[in-house]
Amino acid sequence: MKNLFDIRGLVVVVTGGAGILGRSICRYLAEQGASVVVLDRDAQAGGELLDAIRQQGGDGLFLTTDVLDREVLERNRADILAKYGRIDVLLNAAGGNMGGATIAPDKSFLDLEIDAFKKVVDLNLFGTVLPTTVFGEAMTARKKGVIVNFCSDSALRPLTRVVGYGAAKAAIGNYTKYMAAELATKFSPEMRVNAIVPGFLLTNQNRALLTNPDGSYTDRARTIIAHTPAGRFAEPEELLGTIHYLISDASSFVTGALAVVDGGFDAFSI
Ligand SMILES: NC(=O)c1ccc[n+]([C@@H]2O[C@H](COP(=O)([O-])OP(=O)(O)OC[C@H]3O[C@@H](n4cnc5c(N)ncnc54)[C@H](O)[C@@H]3O)[C@@H](O)[C@H]2O)c1
């Protein structure tokens, strides 16, 4: 029987590909033989990542993008199609929380910065919807393609303080399911959309919330770990197997699913 996890030769586009999670995913997928198109607004980090991919013998391309600018995305699409002729996979990894959209411990919803709330929804929701529209169009032409969105545990269970990001990621869960039906029924059952739901990782996005200046865990970090059956934060590499599964033929009948990778956080009550 064929190897269900063979992803050699797939053209995989990764928005936010130069970020903490994106770069670990891009390097892994290139190692597995995929051609990886890194899209990011950070040209330096993107260029360094592409050098690293090439040094490890992988194939790829880096393009500067802005996931909120349709014209830029359309130029990216033209460049990708000129080099590879198709897009097999889109990983919508650009996203993240923002300071102003989080309520400080001594504040309440009455102090909410609405502009910051809108910005975090823009990046996380429309920063997924726009690339899905632009790159998804190239997939519809071939009636084939796989999309993976990036959701969050904060979408499944609202976290204290993280109001804007949680709302945006909850919308990602809904959009993922909507698009699964849209693509399969209007275009082809060979077009699939799922979301990965990473639990808590200690990354730049949340370092200030989870660690003190001396590096020790904050009370919030200790609360998270106490609520995680696995008893620790995740490492970026622990998302790789799920991403690999979701973009490969091993998941050919899986669409509209939220794949939770959180050490049991969402499953745990008391
Ligand atoms: N790190 C975590 O703990 C965690 C947990 C759950 C979900 N997630 C989600 O996973 C995804 C990746 O997170 P990360 O930790 O790697 O974040 P990160 O901040 O390290 O990476 C995000 C990348 O997106 C890029 N980016 C930001 N705005 C952009 C724009 N407008 N256009 C193009 N690129 C842009 C940044 O330059 C950066 O390289 C995000 O959607 C995040 O919300 C992260």
Give residue 76's pLDDT band: very low, low, confident or very high (50, 70, 90): very high
24 C-alpha to center of ligand 1: Å?
Answer: 12
**Substitution candidate for ligand 1 out of 26, 38, 129, 150 with most atoms within 8 A of CB:** 150
Residue 165 bears catalytic tag:
yes
Active-site option among 165, 175, 178, 217: 165
Predicted pLDDT of residue 65: 98
Between CA 245 and CA 261 the distance in angstroms is: 13
- The reported pTM is 0.98
Contact 49, 62 (CB under 8 A): yes
Maximum separation of any 2 CA atoms in the chain, in Å: 60
Between CA 156 and CA 212 the distance in angstroms is: 27
Chain segment 214-259, per-residue pLDDT in tens? 999 999 999 999 999 999 999 999 999 999 999 999 999 999 999 9
94 C-alpha to center of ligand 1: Å?
Answer: 4
44 lines ligand 1 (CB under 6 A): no
Predicted pLDDT of residue 203: 85
pLDDT at 205 over 80: no
User: Using N-to-C axis directions, what is the helix angle for 114-121 and 163-186, rounded to 10°?
Assistant: 30
270 C-alpha to center of ligand 1: Å?
Answer: 31
- One DSSP character per residue, 141-155 reads HHT-EEEEEE--HHH
Predicted pLDDT of residue 208: 80
Mean pLDDT of 122-142: 98
Q: What percent of the chain has pLDDT over 70?
A: 100
260 lines ligand 1 (CB under 6 A): no
Strand-pair partners of 261: 198
Q: Which residue has the tokens 């080099």?
A: 83
Range name among 95-104, 146-155, 188-197 with the lowest pLDDT average: 95-104
Contact 59, 84 (CB under 8 A): no
117 lines ligand 1 (CB under 6 A): no
Q: What percent of the chain has pLDDT over 90?
A: 94
Torsions phi, psi for 7 (to 5 deg): -115, 15
Instruction: Give the residue, by CA position, lying nearest to ligand 1 atom 25.
Output: 16
Q: Which atom of ligand 1 is nearest to the CA of 65?
A: 33
Predicted pLDDT of residue 1: 84
Q: Which atom of ligand 1 is nearest to the CA of 22?
A: 16
Strand-pair partners of 147: 90, 193
Instruction: Give the residue, by CA position, lying nearest to ligand 1 atom 7.
Output: 152
Q: Closest Cα partner for 133 from 207, 254, 2, 125?
A: 125
Q: Which atom of ligand 1 is nearest to the CA of 206?
A: 3
26 lines ligand 1 (CB under 6 A): no
Range name among 3-12, 43-52, 208-217 with the lowest pLDDT average: 208-217
Between CA 221 and CA 224 the distance in angstroms is: 5
Torsions phi, psi for 239 (to 5 deg): -90, -15
135 lines ligand 1 (CB under 6 A): no
pLDDT at 118 over 80: yes
pLDDT at 206 over 90: no
H helices of the chain, in order, are 20-31, 43-55, 70-84, 114-121, 127-142, 153-156, 163-186, 207-210, 219-226, 240-247
22 lines ligand 1 (CB under 6 A): yes
Instruction: Give the residue, by CA position, lying nearest to ligand 1 atom 32.
Output: 66
Mean pLDDT over each residue of the chain, to the nearest integer: 97
Give residue 70's pLDDT band: very low, low, confident or very high (50, 70, 90): very high
Residues 6+ apart with CB under 8 A from 103: 109, 111, 112, 161, 163
